[in-house]
Structure 1
Amino acid sequence: MKLPRSAPRATVRHRTVEANGIRLHIAEEGEGPLVLLLHGFPECWYSWRHQFGPFAAAGYRVVAPDQRGYGRSERPGAVEEYTVLDLVGDVVGLVHALGESRAVVVGHDWGAPVAWHTALMRPDVVRAVAGLSVPPNPRSGGTPPLRAMRELYGGHFYWNYFERPGVADAEFAADPRTTFRRFLYGACGDNPANDPVPAQPLVPPGGGFLDIVAEPGELPDWLTDEDLDAFTAEYAESGFTGGLNWYRNLDRNWRLTAPWTGAALQMPALFVTGDRDLVHGFPGMSELIPVLRQLHPTLREPVVLPGCGHWTQQERPAEVNAALLDFLREAAPPTG
């Protein structure tokens, strides 16, 4: 039986703000210390639908933007305008555009590296930081990531498929609702293919990404037809190119972040993940996650959710909210 739909309440407000020279659509609710929620790919503000009410009720001002290139936000045309420096600049600009000087920054999937890098680059702006699914990953001094994956998997790793101009863009845009249904089910903990450890996401020769993600017989309890409708509607105009351009900058980001090699987080930090998350299968992750607290002494003990896949805050909202609110009460207690 499906769980009751948990749609954003009418008290979630929508507007557009100017930040870092571009227009960003935001959804917001509540009053108190500012908490920014940064989504991943292929998502938008709606992926945080289960967090608005509980966070606002706990005394926080919750703001979830559509990040650069996504949904209702502005979509620059040049690939080079989607570097990690641009994305961090958007976060800092958004904090200031909202009339604040500091914020707690929480990110999921691609939003997590943006959150971690914002914390590393602008510790004066970030009160506390949390990442879901993707841990703070130290920059290697060896080979840029796209080239490394190309050499390791013969060009079949999904990052390399995504970096090809126009290819994944067209595949995903051909039927966006099918894209979301297969993406969200394929990487979730309810997909038996992800138990115990998801396979490497390798795109077959001559095939597409959707060939490697299963078509669900029925939707898992946490995902409704209304949710699929919402994601599809949010992407109706924007398409997928803006989000894919983030992947196309992975090697450029590797070069740009050289000055922060070996830098450690300076503020309270939290990592939340599921044990069926595909990121756990990425090269080096099994060695990295056990030593995260040695690399970042301000990081709490990671929260690992049994049976949870990649879509952490959507699959397990109650547990994620409890972990984040416990963290927030200590790191950035509400006022009043």
Structure 2
Amino acid sequence: MESTRTVAVNGIELFLRERGEGPLVLLCHGWPELSYSWRHQIVALADAGYRVVAPDMRGFGRSSAPQPIEAYSIFDMVGDMVALVAELKETSAAIIGHDWGAPVAWHAALFRPDLFSAVAGLSVPPAFRGRGRPMETLRQNGITNFYWQYFQTPGVAEAELERDVALTMRGILAGGFSDPARSLFIREGGGFLGKIAPDRPLPGWLSESELTYFIEAYRESGFRGGLNWYRNIDRNWEMTAPWHGAQIRQPSLFIAGAKDPVISDAMSGKQVAGMERVLPNLKQKLIIDGAGHWIQQEKPAEVNAALVDFLKQVM
């Protein structure tokens, strides 16, 4: 049976979902999500013989949300996972991340290969560290309205997203990032959400009760913590300079939806095509037809099968 608890790690508190016994597998969710996003994987991986632990990540849900923007760097996130492994009294783990959780997983494997023996990323490939700060690079390329940029000024995106949390979560989760009513580029004078019908039907993979769980959690927590992850993008670039060009040599897996715009833009498309440069021990690159961004919720059977097969090979 799944259990929940809160643990003190790395100077904060993390809310955990836990199930199963065996080798440790950590599941890192993305934005705007929660440990609940892994509800299908927690059961499947535990049944396959693993100790599965899914935290609400720093700034999300029932976990701590420190006030300073600087408390949300990639080193803080990886530090949380390193400390969590120690708190669980384990000496190694596989780490799996989706969306923003994927960079946490990739960097955890990069920074601590002694601790993280295998790594999987969903929807977001490992980044090729470019020559310049990402925000500066966007501006130099004439881009001033990408959603990363809109999220930078504290309070602006929070005000939009928190105005009607039920509508926000319905729009983002039901529409994903491929909703024609909303773009990853912000229209002048507009916001991130676009126009969302309050009675918009949900996709088959998301029930009204499941959506309600997300809505109630975000009504309680707000969006500040998760948005602060975006406000460290340039800082992360600066802090990871020592790993420029480094490879992640552990066994690895990548899964994404064929309809996910996060992997289909020019930059990410190149990263997906050439990820073996960073992942020389890549076991599988699985692109699932008909799936969008919320891959582990949209296609749980396919994702679970791929994860179990991967873990059986490497743990």
Shorter chain as denominator, the TM-score bin is: over 0.9
Change in 2 beyond 3 A, CA 1:213/1:126: farther
Q: Structure 1 residue 164: deviation in Å?
A: 1.4
**1:12-31 C-alpha deviation (Å, 9 max, x unpaired):** 11101111111111011111
Q: Please list every run of 5 or more consecutive structure 2 residues that lacks an aligned counterpart in the other structure.
A: none
Q: Which residue is equivalent to 1:5? A: none
**How many Å apart are 1:153 and its aligned residue?**
5.1
Distance 1:216 1:241, change over 3 A: same
CA distance in 2, matches of 1:282, 1:247: 18
CA distance in 2, matches of 1:162, 1:277: 20
Measured at CA, do residues 200 and 235 of structure 1 come closer, stay the same or move farther in structure 2, by a change above 3 Å? closer
Are 1:43 and 2:33 an aligned pair? yes
Match status 1:172 vs 2:161: yes
SS class of match (2:282): coil
| TM-score (norm: length of structure 2) | 0.96
Question: Which stretch of structure 1 is more off in the superposition, 253-262 or 286-295?
Answer: 286-295
Structure 1 moving runs of 4+ over 4 Å:
212-216
Matches within 5 A, 1:49-198: 49-141=39-131, 143-152=132-141, 154-187=143-176, 193=180
Query: What CA distance in whole angstroms lies between the structure 2 residues aligned with 1:93 and 1:77?
Result: 20
In the alignment of these two chains, the number of paired residues is 315
Q: Secondary structure of 2:194's partner?
A: helix
Q: Quote how far apart the aligned CAs of 1:186 are.
A: 1.9
Alpha-carbon separation, structure 2, partners of 1:272 and 1:40: 14
Name the residue aligned to 2:271: 288
Q: Quote the Cα distance in structure 2 between the aligned partners of 1:155 and 1:257.
A: 25
Cα pair 2:126 2:271 within 8 Å, conserved: no
Who is 2:23 aligned against? Answer: 33
CA distance in 2: counterparts of 1:250 and 1:267, whole angstroms: 25
Aligned-partner Cα distance in 2 for 1:41–1:292: 23
Superposition TM-score, scaled by structure 1 size: 0.90
Pair 1:215–1:278, CA change in 2 (3 A): farther
Q: Secondary structure at the match of 1:209?
A: coil
CA distance in 1 between counterparts of 2:37 and 2:306 reads 17
Q: Do 2:169 and 2:211's aligned partners in 1 also have CA atoms closer than 8 Å?
A: yes
Q: Decide whether aligned partners of structure 1 residues 173 and 257 sit closer, same or farther in structure 2, where only a CA change above 3 A counts.
A: same
8 Å Cα contact 2:170/2:200 also seen in 1: no
What is the DSSP-based 3-state SS (H/G/I as helix, E as strand, rest coil) of the residue aligned with 1:266?
coil
SS in 2 for 1:264: coil
Please name the residue that 2:285 is paired with. Answer: 302
Query: Could you say if the C-alpha distance between residues 140 and 327 of structure 1 is closer, same or farther in structure 2, counting changes exceeding 3 Å?
Result: same
* CA drift at 1:200: 5.5
Q: Structure 2 counterpart of 1:135, which letter?
A: P
Displacement of 1:43 in angstroms is 0.3
8 Å contact from structure 1 (residues 187, 278) kept in 2: no
Kept after mapping to 2: 8 A contact 1:187/1:213 = no
**Contact map agreement 2:99 2:122 (CA 8 A) in 1:** yes
- Structure 2 residue identity aligned to 1:88: V
Q: CA deviation at 1:212?
A: 6.7
Is contact 2:259-2:289 (8 Å) kept? Answer: yes
CA distance in structure 2 between the partners assigned to 1:60 and 1:301 by the alignment: 20
Over the aligned positions, Cα root-mean-square deviation in angstroms equals 1.7
Deviations for 1:21-72, whole angstroms, at most 9, x for unmatched residues?
1111101111111100000000011100111111111110110001111000
From 241, 245, 264, the counterpart of 1:258: 241
* 1:220 aligned residue (176, 200, 203): 203
Structure 2 CA distance, aligned partners of 1:294 and 1:111? 21
Partner of 1:231: 214
How far did residue 307 of structure 1 move? Answer: 1.1
- 2:9 corresponds to which letter in structure 1? A
Q: Provide the C-alpha distance between the structure 2 equivalents of 1:139 and 1:212, rounded to a whole number of angstroms.
A: 35
Letter in 2 for 1:62: V
* C-alpha deviation, 1:147, in angstroms: 2.2
Q: Indicate conservation of the 8 Å contact 2:158/2:223, yes or no.
A: yes
Deviation at 1:188, TM superposition (A): 6.3
2:309 paired with 1:326: yes
Unaligned runs of 5+ in 1: 1-10
Distance in 1, matches of 2:17 and 2:266, equals 35
**1:213, CA displacement in angstroms?**
6.8
Residues in 2 aligned to 1:247 and 1:71: alpha-carbon distance in whole angstroms: 17
Contact 2:150 2:157 in 1 (8 A): yes
